[in-house]
Amino acid sequence: MDNLKPYVLSYYDTEVVNKISNKYGIEAMDALRRFWKSETYQMLTDDSLEMWDFSPMGIFDMWENEQITGTPQTSLYLRRD
């Protein structure tokens, strides 16, 4: 994954930031900063969690749930209901 990591993160950065920017009307750079500062992003960059299996929509859902509830674990993608 080390060789692919910059490309994978760049892909998620682009896709998730576009979703944040479009949905919330936030400038792209501000959306990128918010994404990078999130627990969701920390989880995405943790190789042991293998989050690259999630779609950008799934990562966006985790980020959005984190903004609303304070934790990405409330996302349907992570809950085990």
Q: pLDDT digit string (tens) for 42-73?
A: 999 998 998 988 999 999 999 999 999 999 99
Task: Please report the pLDDT score of residue 4 as a whole number.
Answer: 58
Task: Please report the pLDDT score of residue 81 as a whole number.
Answer: 61
Domain holding 60, by residue range, is: 5-74
Task: Please report the pLDDT score of residue 5 as a whole number.
Answer: 82
65 backbone dihedrals φ, ψ, rounded to 5°: -65, -35
pLDDT digits (tens, 9 = 90+) for 11-43: 999 999 999 999 999 999 999 999 999 999 999
Structural domains in the chain (count): 1
Is 81 part of any domain? Answer: no
Is 10 part of any domain? Answer: yes
Provide the b/e sequence for 25-43 (b: ≥16 CB within 10 Å): eeeeeebbebbeebebbeb
Burial of 59 (0-12, 13-18, 19+ CB in 10 A): buried
Is 40 part of any domain? Answer: yes
Task: Please report the pLDDT score of residue 11 as a whole number.
Answer: 95
